[in-house]
Structure 1
């Protein structure tokens, strides 16, 4: 049994390893000059690969039940054990986010590469795939820039379409479409958010500001998510890990053309209600609004928020101005920005969308309409938030698909 794995990312390497352990002859192809290029970038180079508090409901997918069942078979403890057996001990951070103990993605890559070598998986890099064709008598013909290759089974593990420089250039989606598979249009995920006000003076003034904030995502005026952390204001909108966490749900809502807003509390660490600002307006230093905001938030953010509320820093204040106090409280703790779109794929950590899970034939991750074809990782329509979700999916789907590719009975 010859299994050809297309893609040398975490899902492809894991699938190749699982197939080889199940007795298959395995060839792994990667278009980059080395495997694992994108893996080295995960978790800011620290490789957060699973999460003890993994919540399957947070995955964006066309088949939540499918994902729930697969992760039930490959829970966090199984992925931790898989890497421990390769020589990578775990380290828990942030209440259950799991990293290699060295906190280096290179440790995971080195362990996977060594395991592939032990299992005698042939690895060829710098190979560009041009197309995949299923042969009438079974098996596949893979066109490359060199001579064609043949295999009994083929694994699509080519990633999504985010960070094309790492090899995830969306080519896997093209091959899937050529084979007649249904796709949900790829979109950026874990990425910045763009506001409809991006041409507004607010962003021109406040871009570059980094502040702690509490963010609430509203879809059709209903709360769909809350995150706290550092907020980065850009010339187009918002960035930062807290924004990335909300971008998955926001992206889905925007794709469905629903009203999507980001409500921001810039003073979440204390109560900045109307009473707070009324007292502040009554203090001796409060000669104008610039003085009222001094020390609360960065000066350029304060000025931008005032202008957005039709106020000016030089505006004089008077003691007991309740309406002004209310206006300031709303500007600082409940500013609403309508969202227009997502950041570019080059600014996204992953892409959402991909091959629909409805095309799969059970948990083997094979395709009903293309016998002998399998898939794993980001190429499938499964995307999770930050916190180890996406690497967990890559490892879990890779283990399942690789073993299945080596052992399933395929009927032509």
Structure 2
């Protein structure tokens, strides 16, 4: 005789940031929630984020700092659960924090404090946590979602997909969210690695010899540009500016780098009038790490005293250094991607509560959805806001 499934008000798949927030809010509203994850501890990505200190939000959160096929989709959730709302929660738990740069907020202590806070927000009498249990079956009948996991069965009128995307597979990340979404007819925007280092090939492999060299730059792709540090690696380009622009880059496109964002393109000709005996390499070395300056000038194939070089060649050199064109041949993939761009199509979901339009009781939140934030706490804020929105509706 088959044992009847244990009844719940909602089953949440995935105990990451979005899933924990959703369970906490629904539990506080008196809902009986089952929270399932195939990994052995909640909030695994939270624990490794920000060098173990969790960049938990960004005070500059705004919808225009997110990528999505529908640029308006994130507005509702982000406006109803703001960065300040999460800061208030953090403060209420006595967690000390600091702003690093560009509005990025980190714990003074450990990311473990954020996970503990979210767990503390889940009422013991409302939220049942099942860890280390793989889901073996999902079905829907008579208004109930049936989930089989770890030899058990559960049923609920609501099912929440909160298992994220495939980025950082060593943390247990998979494309499971898309499999569930497709099972119920939801469309997927093609997923791809985002906030990920770019790789260089061909003639540009010589830049790999600069591995470990960093410099403040402006990286641009199309109409989008970011001013932060770039880092050369043994595979290509990384650092905050490159991770940011990687989310906008597509195969076959160039990434333009301004190595001298504070100088006008004609700075060398002006310097020539002031110091004609200064060598070109010394002039560029003043503004860039020596190894980087040497490699760039080797590619330009220009050297000598400024006074012996023509204005046109100096102006052309200034322009090259201010608009250096890299042609990445790929990325370092999901293994090194901080997040996944694309995912469950926002066209399938209500922007107010994250419920599937054609499948009542089915929700998708967090990274599983086609909403991807900039580097610096934006993706966590989306996790909190989308989790809160769904939790209010369960």
Same-fold status (TM-score > 0.5): yes
**Structure 2 partner of 1:264:** 257
Q: Any unmatched runs of 5+ in structure 1? A: 406-412
Q: 2:101 aligned to 94, 98, 105, which one?
A: 94
Shift of 1:198: 4.8
2:375 aligned counterpart, secondary structure: coil
Kindly tell me: are residues 209 and 92 of structure 1, through their superposed partners in 2, closer, same or farther at Cα, counting changes over 3 Å? closer
Contact 1:205 1:304 in 2 (8 A): no
Shift of 1:293: 4.9
Q: Following superposition of structure 1 onto structure 2, how do residues 68-87 of structure 1 map, counting pairs within 5 Å?
A: 68-87=75-94
Q: Following superposition of structure 1 onto structure 2, how do residues 30-41 of structure 1 map, counting pairs within 5 Å?
A: 30-41=37-48
Kindly tell me: are residues 324 and 312 of structure 1, through their superposed partners in 2, closer, same or farther at Cα, counting changes over 3 Å? closer
**Structure 1 partner of 2:31:** 24
**Structure 2 partner of 1:52:** 59
Q: 1:298 aligned to 289, 294, 297, which one?
A: 289
Contact 1:47 1:103 in 2 (8 A): no
**Structure 2 partner of 1:203:** 207
Kindly tell me: are residues 212 and 187 of structure 1, through their superposed partners in 2, closer, same or farther at Cα, counting changes over 3 Å? same
Shift of 1:17: 0.9
Residues 36-55 of structure 1 show CA distances to partners (whole Å, capped at 9, x for unaligned) of 11011223322222223222
C-alpha distance in structure 1 between counterparts of 2:102 and 2:130, whole Å: 39
Shift of 1:117: 5.1
**Structure 2 partner of 1:140:** 145
Q: Any unmatched runs of 5+ in structure 2? A: 1-7
C-alpha distance in structure 2 between counterparts of 1:71 and 1:372, whole Å: 22
C-alpha distance in structure 1 between counterparts of 2:228 and 2:369, whole Å: 30
1:212 paired with 2:216, answer: yes
1:128 paired with 2:134, answer: yes
Contact 1:142 1:150 in 2 (8 A): yes
**Structure 2 partner of 1:248:** 247
My pick for the range that moved more, 171-180 or 112-121, is 112-121
C-alpha distance in structure 2 between counterparts of 1:277 and 1:341, whole Å: 38
1:169 paired with 2:174, answer: yes
Q: Provide the aligned length of Structure 1 versus Structure 2.
A: 386
Shift of 1:236: 4.1
1:187 paired with 2:192, answer: yes
C-alpha distance in structure 2 between counterparts of 1:188 and 1:74, whole Å: 27
2:381 aligned counterpart, secondary structure: helix
Shift of 1:320: 4.4
1:344 paired with 2:333, answer: yes
**Structure 1 partner of 2:5:** none
C-alpha distance in structure 1 between counterparts of 2:38 and 2:148, whole Å: 13
Shift of 1:95: 5.3
C-alpha distance in structure 2 between counterparts of 1:161 and 1:380, whole Å: 12
Contact 2:28 2:123 in 1 (8 A): no
RMSD: 2.7
Shift of 1:13: 0.6
Residues 311-353 of structure 1 show CA distances to partners (whole Å, capped at 9, x for unaligned) of 166x787624324323432333221223444331111110011
Contact 1:189 1:349 in 2 (8 A): yes
Kindly tell me: are residues 118 and 142 of structure 1, through their superposed partners in 2, closer, same or farther at Cα, counting changes over 3 Å? closer
2:61 aligned counterpart, secondary structure: coil
C-alpha distance in structure 2 between counterparts of 1:34 and 1:218, whole Å: 38
Shift of 1:104: 2.6
Contact 2:34 2:128 in 1 (8 A): yes
**Structure 2 partner of 1:229:** 228
C-alpha distance in structure 2 between counterparts of 1:340 and 1:201, whole Å: 10
Kindly tell me: are residues 363 and 57 of structure 1, through their superposed partners in 2, closer, same or farther at Cα, counting changes over 3 Å? same
Kindly tell me: are residues 198 and 231 of structure 1, through their superposed partners in 2, closer, same or farther at Cα, counting changes over 3 Å? farther
1:65 aligned counterpart, secondary structure: coil
C-alpha distance in structure 2 between counterparts of 1:344 and 1:34, whole Å: 25
